[in-house]
Amino acid sequence: MPNRHASTARDQAADVIGRAQEVAERGYDVAKQAFDTTSEHLDDLSRFGRRRPLLAMGVAFLTGFFIAKTFF
């Protein structure tokens, strides 16, 4: 009787560990994809700023202005 309970507990623990590992792997994949996408967007933004510096400064100024106006 105790062996059966121990076996059941081990099976349940293995199941929980397996599910936790699957969730962690999915989380890692999602985080890696988000990091790659963010990196690509930052590269695009950097390229935009180098090609059109005055427009980039104007956009940054207007963005800061509207954020300041919203919160202050």
The residue whose two tokens read 């919203």 is 70
Residue type, 1: M
Question: Directed axis angle between helix 53-71 and helix 2-51, to 10°?
Answer: 120
| pLDDT by 10s per residue, the chain, length 72 | 556 766 787 888 888 999 999 999 999 999 999 999 999 999 998 998 899 999 999 999 999 999 999 998
